[in-house]
Chains A and B, each alone.
Chain A
């Protein structure tokens, strides 16, 4: 499946969340921006960025930003990524955003996602404005120089085009069935 390009429309989804509810993209039409992040439990890159993603949701919640994390990994081969383990992880880390399970991997394929984490930022009209990684340093949060996602969010919330709209996602490959 072709990856959505900047300027293209969000691909709808309805997926189960670790909170026991179904979540759909259409449920966030009241938001100023929606950030879809393909993630998972076991990947060290996803885990290295986890606290920063939680902080971004906390910092931008009042501005109408909604983060949504989706895990699509094959839980047969990677048991840490099973739905029950996703529930545990979300609870342990105190995820302040929905954590959804794409068991069929259909949504990940529609989005053309390849890595965890991989970020897609949509504005209130569902238009993609940024795709790529969270920032430029997975290992040292204090050494980050380019806050790609935060900068893109600031631009979208100010009705501006982000200075950087595309970066290379850095992380584990999605584990396809």
Chain B
């Protein structure tokens, strides 16, 4: 039986806090990763500026990348919402203010795989 797949449109959201200096690098990494993976979705860019936004968006730090609403690096349960820069743990254990390109690519692939629905 032939398998048919319907690829759902990917929703990509980039949230940032302007005081964290590397958000532009993170956005560039996200764009590059999407190009490499052949993903043409638009990126919704949200500048987080107020405590109200922080709480409403459950913002744990800048930059945050959501793919179909899922954080590319889900924060631990004890994470608190704040206007702050975000710490990412890289593959080798080091802390970085930026998600690595591999981290972004992995999340894109996982999301793409799970969005393929068998009909």
Contact = CB atoms under 8 A, between A and B. Distances in A.
A170 interface: yes
Interface string A43-63: 111011010000000000000
B98 A139 contact: yes
B21 to A, nearest CB: 6
Nearest to B100: A139
A48 B85 contact: no
Interface residues of B, number: 17
Measured as residues with beta carbon below 8 angstroms from the partner, the interface class of chain A is: 10 to 19
B95 A44 contact: yes
Contacts of B97: 44-45, 48, 138-139
Contacts of B80: 79
Contact of B19 (A50, A79, A172): A172
Contacts of B95: 44, 47-48, 50
Contacts of B55: none
Interface of B: 19-22, 61, 80, 82, 84-88, 94-98
